[in-house]
Amino acid sequence: MTPTTETMVGIGGAAESTDMVLNIGPQHPSTHGVLRLKLVLDGERITRAEPVIGYMHRGAEKLFEARDYRQIIMLANRHDWLSAFSNELGVVLAVERMLGMEVPERAVWLRTLLAELNRVLNHLMFLGSYPLELGGITPIFYAFREREELQHVMEEVSGGRMHYMFNRVGGLKEDLPAGWTTRARAAVADVRSRMDRFDDLVLGNEIFRGRTRGVGVLSAEAVHAYGVSGPIGRASGVDFDLRRDEPYLAYGELGDVLKVVTREEGDCLARFECLLEQTHNALDLADACLDRLAELPPGPVNQRLPKVLKAPEGHTYAWTENPLGINGYYLVSKGEKTPYRLKLRSASYNNIQALTELLPGTLVADMVAILGSMFFVVGDIDK
């Protein structure tokens, strides 16, 4: 008997249940840099998501081992390019802890002031770029106008627009230029006077609220499981901020000004609200630091260091509340002028992991809204 062959010429509705793999990136407008998202779709719904990282990896942690303690500051301030001052700060705090070094009081307050100005600069970028990703172009123009006000004073004091290189082991590079505090106070006041535009223009926009409310809900349990921190963690009800809970710099004396902003909803809208309210508070903290600096007598802003700086043998861990979350610095020394090991725990790296839990079950149309609300910098993921 001759065998017969059957051919199916149509599958009809069965095609709707066929999974499709979609790559977003690594070069894509919604990914804030060279990040790749590998999505598995069932129609318009995401069933599985995998962030693929490493396209920008520069091996900073390995390069630390071949640079002395002054040179590693340059490498450290570049992984989160929106938070350069805060990145430098974590490294010098770790080295100072190893050395048992006390920093002059004036330098402590100046570091606190500049860290909060850097926080505002970081947050303004996301306050402008997030609405842009959802189709609103106007807020980013306002965000850059306010950023320029603060960039001018940061550039005047340090000489750099993005990579300040102003921290030193033992303090700061140099004292303030004459009249700088007056100009800084004016810049803070100008920015504060126009911040209501983000309240009105963005939060008051019903389209923005419709795209973000109830979308991308991250539970408090997931925050703890993935090590999520910063505004993203606090938007899910996790009330933790190192500046209050384990104070460093001058934050222990700013408890009456420091406000830890939290929400319970854990959605995209809550994350944006936390970021915006935290920006308001950072401006208040900057004013408080300027008030304190005005009361301090003139004095040094750094310690004299030996020509060759060597940390004693041992290890230490320092962590800071960076604009995007908790940054950790694990330093191991063998008594040489270079670190034996310096491991970075960057906020963006942990925060982005939560996408594997956030994205499944959501629509492709909501993917950009969720991704943008995670407030990450790709260099901070890849280091």
- Mean pLDDT, residues 139-143 taken together: 93
> pLDDT tens digits, residue range 276-330?
999 999 999 999 999 999 999 989 999 999 989 999 999 999 999 999 999 999 9
Residues contacting residue 35 through CB under 8 Å, at least 6 positions apart: 25, 26, 28, 51, 52, 53, 55, 352, 378, 381
Quickly count: other Cβ atoms within 10 Å of residue 324's Cβ.
29
CB 326 within 8 Å of CB 230: yes
Maximum alpha-carbon separation in the chain? 106
* Residue 26, preceding peptide bond in cis (omega within 30° of 0): yes
> pLDDT tens digits, residue range 173-197?
999 999 999 999 999 999 999 999 8
pLDDT for 8 equals 44
pLDDT for 311 equals 92
Q: For 228, what's the count of Cα atoms within 13 Å in the CB-facing half-sphere?
A: 31
> pLDDT tens digits, residue range 81-124?
899 999 999 999 999 999 999 999 999 999 999 999 999 999 99
pLDDT for 282 equals 97
DSSP per residue over 266-309, as a string? -SHHHHHHHHHHHHHHHHHHHHHHHHHHHHSPS--SS----SS-
Name the residue type at position 30: S
* C-alpha distance from residue 189 to each of 23, 147, 226, 284, 360 (Å): 44, 13, 38, 10, 43
d(CA 321, CA 144): 24
Structure tokens at 156: 């005047």
pLDDT for 162 equals 86
d(CA 125, CA 127): 6
Q: Is 286 exposed, middle or buried (0-12, 13-18, 19+ CB in 10 A)?
A: buried
Q: How far does Cα 82 stand from its chain's mean position? A: 7
pLDDT for 1 equals 54
- Mean pLDDT, residues 141-157 taken together: 95
Residues contacting residue 262 through CB under 8 Å, at least 6 positions apart: 234, 235, 237, 238, 239, 274
pLDDT for 13 equals 47
> pLDDT tens digits, residue range 30-58?
666 788 889 999 888 999 999 998 888 88
> pLDDT tens digits, residue range 56-88?
888 888 999 999 999 999 888 888 889 999 999
CB 333 within 8 Å of CB 314: yes
d(CA 245, CA 225): 20
Strands (E), the chain: 20-24, 27-28, 33-34, 36-42, 45-52, 167-168, 171-172, 314-322, 325-333, 341-345
d(CA 283, CA 286): 5
> pLDDT tens digits, residue range 190-242?
999 999 989 888 988 899 999 999 999 999 999 999 999 999 999 999 999 99
d(CA 105, CA 156): 22
Task: Give the SS3 label for residue 316.
Answer: strand
Task: Give the SS3 label for residue 159.
Answer: coil
20-24 β-sheet, strand order: 20-24, 36-42, 45-52
**If you ran DSSP here, which 8-state letter would residue 202 be given?**
I
Percent of residues, the chain, with pLDDT higher than 70: 94
Which residue matches tokens 């923005």?
208
Nearest Cα to 260, choosing from 238, 239, 286? 239
- Mean pLDDT, residues 12-34 taken together: 69
pLDDT for 130 equals 92
Percent of residues, the chain, with pLDDT higher than 90: 72
Angle, CA 243 vertex, CA 81 and CA 100 arms, to 5°: 85
- Mean pLDDT, residues 248-256 taken together: 94
Q: What is the pLDDT confidence band of residue 12, given thresholds at 50, 70 and 90? A: very low
* C-alpha distance from residue 217 to each of 52, 65, 77, 93, 355 (Å): 22, 40, 32, 35, 11
Q: For 173, what's the count of Cα atoms within 13 Å in the CB-facing half-sphere?
A: 15
